[in-house]
Amino acid sequence: MNEAIKNLEPKSVWNYFAQLNAVPRASKKEEQVIEFMKNFGTELGLETLEDEVGNVIIRKPATKGMEDRKTIVMQSHLDMVHQKNNDTDFDFDTQGIEMYVDGDWVRAKGTTLGADNGLGVATIMAILKSTDIPHPAIEALFTIDEETGMTGAMGLKGGVLKGEILLNLDTEEDDEIGVGCAGGVDVTAIGTYKQVAPAGNIAFEIQLKGLQGGHSGMDIHKGLGNANKLMNRLLFATEGLMEIAEVNGGSLRNAIPRESVVKVVVQQEKQDAFKRAFDAMKSEILLEYKYSDPNLFIELNETLLPSNVMEPTAQTSFVRAVQGAHNGVYRMSPAIEDLVEASNNLAKIRVKDGQIKLECLTRSSVESSKEDVANSLKSVFELAGYQVTFSGAYPGWAPNMESPILKVMDEIYTSMNGEKAHVAACHAGLECGILGRNYPGMDMISFGPTIKGAHSPDERASISSTQKFWSYIKEILQHIPHRS
């Protein structure tokens, strides 16, 4: 299966992508892929080092005739988002990603593909290995834990890199040159509740699954269903007719939640009214999302009666807090057309054994609006009696429309494709903003091949786009400006 991937063009890129995808590389579990990358650099005879936090840096001298060009940093992150379909039997800690070709797309069987940011990593590996591609001196920077905390970028100390230009290979549209991105902050609410014996005698499990999901930054404007918010609509509609025992929704802060499972208890005499209210809301939700999430599935099944449920006052506060918490686009940018300025993803909800935990990822390209969204969430959760913390904050990347490397890349793209590239900022959290704090003079650009459905099992990478990207990056390397 993965052998077919290795035979795609450009073979060097797809071969390294297949090798990389054979190595488990979950965020915060990058030990194996760090060793993989260090061995790769060492076997090439190139200077290879691992910094204090686990980033891997490989240095390759300029090819003959390119010694007077500016040193470039080529950067991608080693970790990938691990998501799988509910019916997929797969162990991300031990298994390599199972890939297949579907027309112009490379996909994975029931899991995320890891093209974000594996194709960037594989491209850099192919250039480091090459003997026939002209290029200036290269510092290849492979960061860790981009997806769950930007730990690698945050931990990279100033002075380690000598390059003057950074090429970040983590943009997901091949006609786009990225010049800015959003910052973010994690908003976490923690609460407790008194457990009581259920008044009812019939237990139900509600399953909500089959949502499209996706990247909580790049896809947040698409109106896709959020499993936590949709499940809460069902709970809100039936609140006086049931008791909540457990809630388990979402899995990753930077992925739009695709699934939620809830256990409730209903009194015998309220069963018919509960089912009527449940079915009415279910029909409304399925109708609203039949175009954006056609595979949405909501099911109600009897289950074993739990020993405890939330006491009524705590349940009311919880349901209203989730109902009131903002999810989705908060503000569109007034400065850049079609750019989301601020948003929130209500990513994870856990209710069990007297403990409540809600996790959000708030993003914005403007620091003040990021604070506004975070504070609005804090206000809602504190009114419910929860303790709220902000953590993992990282800065945005302010666009520099006078960037010298932007001018070079824009001209090359137009020459190669007969049309101008789309120069834009994105609503994802790229590492450029963080790296820029310790390397403030570095000229930075982000670009990459077309990848769809990142952070979901629908993730797919375009084969033709990867070929286009490969030709583009080789041309860029030949036109890096001379040192001053």
Active site residues: 79, 146
φ and ψ at 318, to 5 degrees? -65, -50
* Cα of 190 vs its chain's centroid, Å: 23
> Which of 70, 43, 48 shows the shortest CA–CA distance to 58?
48
* CB distance 150 to 431 below 8 Å: yes
Q: Within the chain, how many helices (H) and strands (E) appear? A: 12, 25
Residue matched to tokens 């005739």: 65
How far, in Å, CA of 287 to CA of 296, rounded? 10
**Residues 262, 266, 270, 271, Cα dihedral to 10°:** 70
* CB distance 131 to 478 below 8 Å: no
φ and ψ at 361, to 5 degrees? -120, 115
How far, in Å, CA of 264 to CA of 261, rounded? 10
Give the other-Cβ count within 10 Å of 375's Cβ: 14
Q: What is the DSSP letter of 304?
A: P
How far, in Å, CA of 300 to CA of 410, rounded? 54
> Which of 387, 245, 232, 261 shows the shortest CA–CA distance to 319?
232
Residue matched to tokens 């429309």: 401
